[in-house]
Amino acid sequence: MQEIIRALILGFVQGATEFIPVSSSGHLVIVPWLLGWGPSTLLFDTVLHWGTLVSILFVFWRDFLRIIIATFKSIPQRSLSDPDARMGWYIAVGTIPAALLGFFFKDALESLFMSETRGPLVAGVFLLVTAALLAGSELMTRRGTAQRLIYQMKWGDVAFIGFAQAFALFPGISRSGSTIAAGLVRRFRRDEAALFSFFLGAPAFFGAGLLQLGDALATDRSEVVAAAPELVIGFWAAAITGILAIRFLLDYLRNHSLYLFAGYCFLVGTGVIVLNLIR
């Protein structure tokens, strides 16, 4: 029963904090540490990522269907005149920096997540970085207009936001936060920056899941079968919470700034650092 409760809590944490810009990776390190749990298995982390992938596909399936069809049509036509085709290639290219960093530095990044002693401190420090990114992007936005739509995106915007997503591979750096902040710096509207962040997240979650799945399945298959109930519960908890988080954030950012999330990251990051030093 304890494992079921753990899976439910961590599924909720993943689904909410993956899309709300407060760092799911950081929370998945901090929450088990605070509750006295050990680190999650790679297989469980994979299932949670795919739960949030389901969230994105559920909310934006019409957009993705339109984008995928237009992107494949653009190949024989050798034309990017269709905005949906351009968006498809933007998503593909924007994913490359995170994919390369994750592939070549996979073991080093995982060691930050899995360390029970160093992980929470690293996550706390990087939550402060996330707070600075969110607040800094808002300050820059106030000095100019942020009214661009994502279908007005250029290749320079894609590269900038793509590298911001790669930076979020460190625990405590919010993927949605860094990409939304990067979008604001490039003068996109908050809700439009969040929309592209969600689009960019789909291949990232799928790729990260595949990378982790290979390692996870290399372990004893009987462990996978034994953990099936927790995996199913964690998956659906992440998926359902993720759907609610996406809809909340898009609605919130139409009329509100990122300062609330910056303040939250600052408080949690500072609290974790202090508690870690005390312990």
pLDDT of residue 119: 77
Residue type, 45: D
pLDDT in the model for residue 54 = 94
| Euclidean distance between CA atoms 248 and 238, whole angstroms | 15
Residue 139 has pLDDT above 80, yes or no: yes
Instruction: Name which of 150, 119, 118 is nearest 250 in CA terms.
Output: 150
CB 269 within 8 A of CB 124: yes
- Tens of pLDDT, residue by residue over 147-205, are 889 999 999 999 999 999 998 888 789 999 999 999 999 999 999 999 999 999 898 88
* Domains: count for the chain: 1
Task: Using DSSP, state whether 256 is helix, strand or coil.
Answer: coil
Per the confidence metrics, is the pTM higher than 0.95? no
142 sits in the region (left: phi over 0; alpha: psi -120 to 50; else beta) called: alpha
Which positions ≥6 away from 53 have C-beta within 8 Å?
201, 202, 205, 206, 209
How many helices (H) and strands (E) would you count in the chain? 12, 0
The boundaries of the domain holding residue 268 are 2-278
pLDDT exceeds 60 at position 263: yes
